[in-house]
Amino acid sequence: MYYLVYGFLWLISLLPLRVLYVISDILTFVVYRMIGYRKEVVMNNLAIAFPEKTIEERKKIARRFYRNFIDSFIETIKIISASERYISKRFTGNWEVANQFYESGRRVQMHLGHNFNWEWGNLAGKAALRFQFLGVYAPISNKVFDRIFRKIRSRSGTVLLRANNMQADILPYRHKQYLLGLVADQNPGHMLRALWFDFFGKRAPFTAGPAKNAIANDCVVIFAFIHKPRRGRYVLELKVEEEFPQQTTTEDLTRRFVDYLENVIRTYPDMWLWSHRRWKNEWRDDYTFVERGSK
């Protein structure tokens, strides 16, 4: 089954990008207009985040989100046959912000939200970065698609670390120099270990793992986001957030990412994964709440 599915996707990936975007437009219409995939979740999330906007304004963001969402899926299929050069021409970034720490021997940790298109970013980053690139991923329950996505994500030499077994997977690199890429807005698996913040005015849990790892391994922390000047073109913007993480705290470093993430989403609202249920958990008094202005 794996070879059958992979072969089919490989054939699709050979199509020119402009043809793939026609397919994406059709799928977007089906997913958004006909099926309404997670539409209620998306609209509820947008209502929480942007209560000041009209329903029509939120629907406009939703339509653009679904287009970006399907584009991202189609573009990921394109990776199967596309060269690194092909992707690097279409996904650019200020990679020097990270590379400047290579000669000094520092490790770097990059924090990114669920921001389109991180799959292209993985491939482009491996070509542009001087570091050994480690990427954390969540295994897919379907074994065929899990194998396909692992092949896509590791094809250029990226080392994949399982999100549910990261501490064990990273052990071979504990004495080596690397850049670790983390999608840092994941919903925590254990609410009692989570840090809670006001996020768009409503309390939401964030995992403390990225900040803890950066402090424990003295990694330079870089925040990142991706924006889309036009279809098929992405720009990654990197910002050094903390060069000396051991001088700060887990709560402070996580809070700073929450602040950063909210500002980025407000600027590029259609580029975030709104079908991700950030506010699905309710606050309890035994959880750890961190004030946004606290240190």
Rounded to two decimals, what is the model's pTM?
A: 0.92
- Kindly state the tokens that stand for 115: 């921001």
DSSP string for residues in 101-170: TTTTT--EEEEE-SBS-HHHHHHHHHHH-SSPEEEEEPPPSSHHHHHHHHHHHHTTSPEEEEGGGHHHHT
- Kindly state the tokens that stand for 193: 């270990």
Q: What is the pLDDT of residue 293?
A: 64
Q: What is the pLDDT of residue 9?
A: 95
Q: What is the pLDDT of residue 138?
A: 82
Q: What is the pLDDT of residue 237?
A: 97
C-beta separation of 235 from 250 below 8 A: no
pLDDT digit string, tens, across residues 162-221:
888 888 898 999 889 999 999 989 888 889 999 999 999 999 999 999 999 999 999 999
Q: What's the per-residue H, E or C state across 249-278?
A: CHHHHHHHHHHHHHHHHHHCHHHECCCCCC
Residues 197 and 48: their CA atoms lie apart, in Å, by: 14
Residue 291, Cβ density class (10 Å: 0-12 exposed, 13-18 middle, ≥19 buried): exposed
- Kindly state the tokens that stand for 64: 């653009």
Q: What is the pLDDT of residue 140?
A: 86
C-beta separation of 192 from 123 below 8 A: no
Which is it for strands 179-183 and 202-206: parallel, antiparallel or unpaired? unpaired
Residue spans of the chain under pLDDT 70: 293-295
Q: Given strand 202-206, what is the order of strands in its sheet?
A: 202-206, 195-199, 288-289
- Kindly state the tokens that stand for 236: 């990654």
The distance of Cα 69 from the centroid of its chain, to the nearest Å, equals: 12
